[in-house]
Every structure is written in C-alpha cells, then in structure tokens.
Amino acid sequence: MTDRLPHTLRSDALDNRERIVDAARSLFATEGLDVPMREIARKAGVGPATLYRRFPTKQMLVTEAFTDQMRACHTIVDEGLTDPDPWRGFRRVIERICELHAHNQGFTEAFMTAFPDAMDFAADRAHTLNSIAKLAHRAKGAGHLRPDFVLDDLIIMLTAHRGIHATSTATRVAASRRFAALVIQAFQTSPTHSPLPPAARLGAGSKGGHG
C-alpha cells in the first residue's frame, strides 16, 4: 500500500489540476476574467487552499487555462494532419475547432486583451494556419476540397463563428455543430447534402416569422 501511495497522490494532484483548469476556462468564458478565485474553487470541487497551492495568482491560472486551450487546438490540427484520409481530417479539424471555440467563446479575446505580452500569438497563429494549409493541399489533391479554397475562407468562417451567441453553452454548441456542417458542405467539391445536425434556437428571432 505504501508503494502505491505516491502514485495515488500524484494522480489526485493531477486530477485536481485538471478540474481547476477546466472550471477556470469555463467560468472565464462565461463570466469574464474577473470571476473570483473562490468561485473557481467551488466549481472545481476543491478548497481555496488547494487552488492557491496549485496557482498562487490569478494570472498564473488564466495563463494555464489559455495554454491548455492552445494545446487542445494544436492537438486537433495535428490529428487532422495524421489522418490517412485528408478530407476526413480536414472536416474533423473544422468540427472540433468550432466546438472548442463554442465552449470557450470570449475567453481567447479576453486573455489577449488582458495579457497582450503573455506569449507570441502571431507565431502560434501562423504555425496553426501553416499546418491547416498543408492539410488543405492534401484534401484538394484527393479531389474533395474545392480547388478555389484559400485559407482566408477559413478565417472568414472562424470570424463568422464567433458571432454565434446563445443563452447557454449547450445551445451555442448545437448551433456551432450545424454551422460547421454547413461550412463543410460549402467547402466540398461535390456536396453530398447529408442531413445537418439539429437547428438551435438562438433567440426571439428564431421563433418563427421572417420579419
């Protein structure tokens, strides 16, 4: 039992760290960066002492939460690149990045505004876009991505995606999935027009009528 104890402690500490960062990212996205540390601890299910032991300052926690989000984005793109089917990989990149952004809407902008010198945002963006460009080139070569697609189209898509607003995260994610499906069909050489994910009600304007 004593041999297993250090491993158990390390596992518990890792679990606490993940819960804290997940809770922080969720609250930063919905409440802004001014959310109290005690509220983050409460949502994570840990005591304030545990939170401060892991992250002595708010900036450390905010930076770690954002770094985690960047890692998730890099993983999405890397896994798309390694997919033997480039069109499937390209589709999955769009779907997963949209879902990631839907869960963390507003956090990226808030972080970049509050901590503009925390990291090299331009270099990270260039690296991500370069990787997606390689995947797009392969998808075009396979004959599935329309030949006139350019990276600016993807940037336009992500900019439009940021305009999805909803009263709950679940509704925003549902709208994001449908948006991603529509975009993928637009990017495809010969759209299959497969069924779209269910539509989401985003506000009073979606209750019927056409103004």
- Provide the CATH number for the domain around residue 43: 1.10.10
**What range defines the domain where residue 17 resides?**
1-56
Domain assignment of residue 171, yes or no: yes
Q: Are residues 52 and 64 in the same domain?
A: no
Domain assignment of residue 208, yes or no: no
Here the CATH number for the domain that contains residue 159 is 1.10.357
Query: pTM of the entire structure?
Result: 0.80
Domain assignment of residue 210, yes or no: no
What is the per-residue pLDDT across 150-168, written as a single tens digit (0 to 9) for each? 999 999 999 999 899 888 8
C-alpha span between 149 and 152 (Å, rounded): 8
Q: How far is CA 202 from CA 3, 4, 31, 169, 182, in A?
A: 54, 50, 19, 11, 17
Q: What is the tally of structural domains in the chain?
A: 2
Residue 95 in this model has a pLDDT that exceeds 70:
yes
198: number of Cβ within 10 Å = 9
C-alpha span between 129 and 70 (Å, rounded): 13
Asked if 158 contacts 183 with a C-beta cutoff of 8 angstroms, the reply is: no
Domain assignment of residue 65, yes or no: yes
Q: Are residues 6 and 21 in the same domain?
A: yes
SS3 189: coil
Residue 8 in this model has a pLDDT that exceeds 50:
no
